[in-house]
Structure 1
């Protein structure tokens, strides 16, 4: 994931140095994107398909303010400068192959049907992302802020970081191995019958259902709920 995101708020954002164009001006003749980025308060719905297709729903003013960029494999959706506080929200419907990466910056929502076998999810802010059906060899998830990620399916390896007060609510996701880092008051849940390494700094909580064996390093009042727990010391 090599996306350059700049701008101190949702109102003034550029991605890979671009502020985007209206959908009617977006060149979609090349390869379908592998990554999707949302910066702003809107909603993205991603449906599986072999070719890229995009349409936007919402009131006329909000739809007119939407901007799109497709560069270096990243499809970015944002607002025209200064056009995000009018109260309206748009829904962007995207058909594309299963994305390798989802990036959510701001207060919006991304709902994806699936992810690629090697996938990376980043939630930076207060937004919410979800994936209905995961079948991954490796899944990396970062929740930085107060956002939420929801997921179901299976993954051979999970690498999860929650920094802040966010949540990774993945009770329907079963993994073989997991490396978990919680910094702050955030929480996480998932299922495993394999091995889990967990590090907690703060008051966050991790709940693992199943028959997992967990090695835990903790500083603070945070807890790990797991069938077999080994507490490690520094």
Structure 2
């Protein structure tokens, strides 16, 4: 049987997350607003189910990890630990924090992906490890669980995914495209600029982009998650639930609303198909 954890060969983190997101959206979002059901159905994929054991993970201890070859561009974390990523040309990993938690971490490299998770059969205590990684700017960061990922920057085409209560923070972005997806209560925080920004939230996780300015923005919220950002371009939003969106700048804002959530565009020209507040 495939064991979901650091990396599962049969059911990857990406596949599991997308199924989780689809199921969450389908249960609440689509029932409230048929026109918005595309948020759930648009990401439909083959019937790959979530199976596996989070207590037993694949991978190997850091001391046994093959560090040769090209550095990874995608990093995922499962569990309660912390990853801190610093941009650099030479790929390197060091461990800090609780020694027992660090010894229980398993690392798996598969092509351009590095997946990290804790083997609970090796350690299931409250201590937490800190994984410090030096690598080129990541193109994708993904987290499942209650852990934390911090990165100083990301690549020109950046994808950020959160499943659960974990948080991801990116200190500075200068990207053409940024895709953010949250399924659960985790938060994503970033500053910088993006020409195109896509945000999908299923749950009560927040996107804290008050320090980020994006030109073209597309947002979908199913639940109570909030989004804060800046834009001087165009913002299209769909809300089913109580989530609120706040946009600072001169953006033209459009909202399809099937709940109590609001889209507030401060000092902006507003084109409304739902309930939009302009200040």
* Number of residue pairs matched by the alignment: 227
Matches within 5 A, 1:1-234: 4-5=12-13, 10-13=54-57, 19-83=58-122, 85-226=124-265, 227-232=268-273
CA distance in 1, matches of 2:51, 2:130: 22
| Displacement after TM superposition at 1:72 (Å) | 1.8
CA distance in 1, matches of 2:226, 2:53: 25
Change (3 A) 1:176 1:119: same
Q: Is the 8 A contact 2:88 2:136 kept in 1?
A: yes
Task: Compute the TM-score of the two structures, normalised by the length of structure 1.
Answer: 0.93
Q: Give the stretch that moved more between structures: 106-115 or 223-232.
A: 223-232
Runs of 4 or more consecutive aligned structure 1 residues displaced over 4 Å after TM superposition: 6-10
CA distance in 2, matches of 1:120, 1:132: 15
Which of the two has greater helix per residue?
A: 2
CA distance in 1, matches of 2:244, 2:52: 30
1:2-35 alpha-carbon deviations (Å, 9 max, x no partner) = 981366674344xxxxx01000100010110010
Q: Is the 8 A contact 1:23 1:66 kept in 2?
A: yes
Change (3 A) 1:223 1:32: same
SS in 2 for 1:198: strand
Change (3 A) 1:10 1:58: farther
Q: Which runs of 5+ in 1 are unaligned?
A: 14-18
Q: Is the 8 A contact 1:178 1:195 kept in 2?
A: yes
SS in 2 for 1:24: helix
Which of the two has greater strand per residue?
A: 1
RMSD of equivalent CA atoms: 1.6
SS in 2 for 1:222: coil
